């Protein structure tokens, strides 16, 4: 998409007007990287390369967990103390990148994890051990819904608000804090998946 200029917001008392910033809805320079990652994931699934599937699952899950915890527990509180122009400046740099990073990590982690479970016959274990598998599916399913159904719409809402001739700085701040705190929730849920995965690995 074409870059969109964000004008300074008038009427801000006690703060300087934010400088104009060219905002990309989708950072085009990142698309080739996403394409390479997804193509490698498809190749690993099609070739039944267990080492590659393990790599995608461990690295993707680790990055997903780390980013969620960092955004929720570190970035979120910082945003709450930033001025409205500072939030807009941060959003112009941060949110477009997250629009590419998070869906890619979610797809890579879940697709590789399911293929690993299928190839290693983890899905065929009997109860009561199978409850751990069921629990993992429930947790990652909820996290995927949150990531793709709440985080990404909030991300897009921020970016489209910033496209307006007079963006609402207060709304952008609220949406960004909601994005950060929701990411923190999924990060904490990721800790539950780590407990489940380590339990399964010790069968």
Token match 């016959």: residue? 121
Tokens read off for 134: 């069921």
Q: What is the pLDDT of residues 65-122, one digit of tens each?
A: 888 888 878 887 887 777 878 877 887 788 888 889 988 998 999 899 889 888 888 7
Measured distance CA(63)–CA(18) in Å, rounded = 32
Which 3 state secondary structure label does DSSP give 6? Answer: strand
pLDDT > 70: percent of the chain? 88
What is the average pLDDT score of the chain? 80
Q: For residue 23, list its beta bridge partners.
A: 4
Q: Predicted confidence band at 21 (pLDDT cuts at 50, 70, 90)?
A: low
| Per-residue model confidence (pLDDT) at position 131 | 86
Question: Residues 190, 72: contact at Cβ < 8 Å?
Answer: no
Q: What is the pLDDT of residues 126-149, one digit of tens each?
A: 888 788 888 888 888 888 888 778
What mean pLDDT is predicted for residues 31-59? 93
| Per-residue model confidence (pLDDT) at position 65 | 83
Measured distance CA(124)–CA(122) in Å, rounded = 5
Extended beta strands in 53-183, E state: none
Considering the entire predicted model, what is its pTM? Answer: 0.73
């Amino acid at each position: 998409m074409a870059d969109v200029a964000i004008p300074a917001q008038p009427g801000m008392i006690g703060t300087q007007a934010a400088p104009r910033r060219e905002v990309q809805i989708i950072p085009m320079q990142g698309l080739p990287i996403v394409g390479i990652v997804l193509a490698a994931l498809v190749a690993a699934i099609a070739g039944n390369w267990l080492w590659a599937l393990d790599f995608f699952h461990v690295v993707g899950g680790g990055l997903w967990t780390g980013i969620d915890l960092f955004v929720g527990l570190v970035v979120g509180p910082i945003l709450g103390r930033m001025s409205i122009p500072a939030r807009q400046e941060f959003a112009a740099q941060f949110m477009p990148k997250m629009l590419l990073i998070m869906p890619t990590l979610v797809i890579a982690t879940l697709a590789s994890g399911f293929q690993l479970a299928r190839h290693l016959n983890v899905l065929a274990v009997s109860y009561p051990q199978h409850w751990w598998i069921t629990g993992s599916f429930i947790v990652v399913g909820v996290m995927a819904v949150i990531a793709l159904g709440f985080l990404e719409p909030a991300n897009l809402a921020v970016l489209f608000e910033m496209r307006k001739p007079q963006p609402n700085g207060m709304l952008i701040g609220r949406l960004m804090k909601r994005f950060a705190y929701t990411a923190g929730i999924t990060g904490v849920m990721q800790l539950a998946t780590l407990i489940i995965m380590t339990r399964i690995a010790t069968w």
